[in-house]
Structure 1
Amino acid sequence: MKVKDKVFVVTGAGSGMGRELSIQLVRKGAQVALVDINRKGIQETAVQAGIERVSFHEVDITDRNSVHYLPSQVLSQLGEVDGLINNAGIIQPFLDVKGLDYAVIEKVMNVNFYGTLYMTKAFLPELLKRPEAHIANVSSMGGFIPFPGQTVYSASKAAVKILTEGLYSELKGTNVGVTVIHPGAVNTNIMKNSDLKTASTNSEAGSKILSAEKAAALMIDGIERNKFRVLVGKDATLLDMLYRFNPKMAVDLIVKKMKKRSE
């Protein structure tokens, strides 16, 4: 589905990847409903994207009642909805499961999985009314391969992966296309948005981090090509290949690399 002249809803639009997705969608001729819990952030995105091409909505996507009323708010301002990009997400503190508080576990699952589910269920009836429409859910390379210290985050993103693939199977033959997106390391402020201290990176790791601008372009291209699955970044692509070839070897490699980096 070409994005020109379409209306998209983007979550997490107040910063990082969501902001870049919104800006690029507008540049390609779309209108965008900016959704974020941070009102100041979405106002800044609106200015950068073009205030005349967007609407902004301060919404906590983990609040099912608030999400339920969001479609009518978007429709009243933009007239219709053709696409939904569930981009909002947070990571967990870098701790093993045994060290995580239940409150943290619930927050990660609520934002990453339930937020995606609530948005999808709220907007799907409207998307099914359109001549063509699209849902793109942002998982992670952590959604298909685990990282020590991010197990709950990975579990939440694996849930997004299966939810999205299930939606694809249920909506096959309808007007709604479905794409699951697996970004690798991308230069965004997800650490800050997750209330975590910014982690230092060595030059080797930094050189592999993809810019948000490039990552967003790959995501939008995947939507326009109606791709089932989009891997964003060389790290995601290589780990996907290795995991398919030998899952245990891939996990052992991740453990070894992360232990070496923490020394």
Structure 2
Amino acid sequence: MAVFITGASSGIGRALALEYALQGHTLGLVARRGDRLGEMVARLPGSGHKAYPVDVTDRSALHAAARQFIDEVGQVDIVIASAGVSAGTLTETGEDFEIFRDIFMINVMAMMATFEPFIPVMKSHKCGTLVGIASVAGVRGLPGAGAYSASKSAVKTYCESLRVELAGTGVDVVTVAPGYVESEMTAHNPYSMPFLLSADEFAKRCARAIGNRKRYAVIPWQMAIVSRLMAVLPDWVYDRLARNAPRKPRLSAAVKNFSDKVRK
């Protein structure tokens, strides 16, 4: 089986790459940091894995990597768009506009660009699975994280639309919404993270959900209960509970390049 994963040099993407390599699959791995990606691929079990040092916001380069992997392996069975970023943001602060834009470009638009070249091939084979990584943070709007919450809400809705569009073609769409997972993205969160999973444990559970072709899976199951409760809370109750919640730190004004700070 061949698996294509973006955001593969760290966090969830890296853990998923290791999990699928341990299962004996051939991987096509995309990440912006080519040095880290190359080192990781060299250490993965198995052989034939391909590394593509590509910025996922470069649609042409991303498509070229996808086509090259398709040419090399033939049928691609699973495509996982796991490249993602997070940062605290405030709409009232003009300097955060570009951070909002970058978060949406990476978390939403790059996901669509990742799936684009694989869909015609998967439809022709009448099989394949596209996987979008959403987040429990997309269930309700979190204060101080408007860009991240909105982008992950958009991921869930986009994948749902795509799933229905592809119904009957043999191509499945799986949306996975992680709770808290140990990664560079969560390492500096200044608040408690209930039901925190290691990246490796998350990857095992995620791979099972993908293998079972779950339409929508929240991992871990405890966060699935929390997310369902959050979704049905009346707005006035949610507002009272959330308004004083701890917030993810904004990037320092001295940080000029968002990409170098938080992107995979």
**In which range does the TM-score fall when normalised by the shorter chain?**
0.7 to 0.9
Cα distance change of structure 1 residues 77 and 51 upon mapping to structure 2, 3 Å threshold: farther
Give the AA of the match of 2:199.
A
Aligned equivalents of 1:199, 1:120: Cα separation in 2: 31
Aligned equivalents of 1:19, 1:134: Cα separation in 2: 19
Aligned equivalents of 2:43, 2:217: Cα separation in 1: 26
Q: What is the root-mean-square deviation in Å for CA atoms of aligned residues?
A: 2.0
Within 5 Å, which residues of 2 pair with 1:1-263? 6-50=1-45, 52-92=47-87, 94-99=88-93, 100-190=95-185, 198-201=188-191, 205-206=192-193, 208-234=195-221, 236-248=223-235, 249-258=237-246
Cα distance change of structure 1 residues 127 and 247 upon mapping to structure 2, 3 Å threshold: farther
Give the AA of the match of 2:71.
S
Per-residue CA deviation, residues 191-215 of structure 1 (Å, 9 max, x unaligned), is 68xxxxx3344xxx25631111111
Deviation, 1:71, is 2.2
Unaligned stretches of 5+ in structure 1?
Answer: 1-5, 193-197
Identity of aligned residues (%): 25
Equivalent pair of 2:190/2:246 in contact (CA under 8 Å): no
> What TM-score results when the alignment is normalised by the length of structure 1?
0.86
Deviation, 1:221, is 0.7
Of 180-189 and 43-52, deviating more is 43-52
Q: What is the number of residues matched between the two proteins?
A: 245
Deviation, 1:64, is 1.5
Equivalent pair of 1:84/1:135 in contact (CA under 8 Å): yes
Equivalent pair of 1:74/1:80 in contact (CA under 8 Å): no
Aligned equivalents of 2:44, 2:80: Cα separation in 1: 16
The answer to which structure, 1 or 2, has the higher relative contact order (CA under 8 A, 6+ apart) is 2
> What TM-score results when the alignment is normalised by the length of structure 2?
0.86
SS in 1 for 2:92: helix
Deviation, 1:27, is 1.3
Deviation, 1:28, is 1.4
Cα distance change of structure 1 residues 120 and 97 upon mapping to structure 2, 3 Å threshold: same
Cα distance change of structure 1 residues 162 and 85 upon mapping to structure 2, 3 Å threshold: same
Aligned equivalents of 2:164, 2:122: Cα separation in 1: 16
Deviation, 1:247, is 4.4
Deviation, 1:14, is 0.7
What corresponds to 1:195 in structure 2? none
Unaligned stretches of 5+ in structure 2?
Answer: 248-264
SS in 1 for 2:125: coil
Which of the two has greater helix per residue?
1
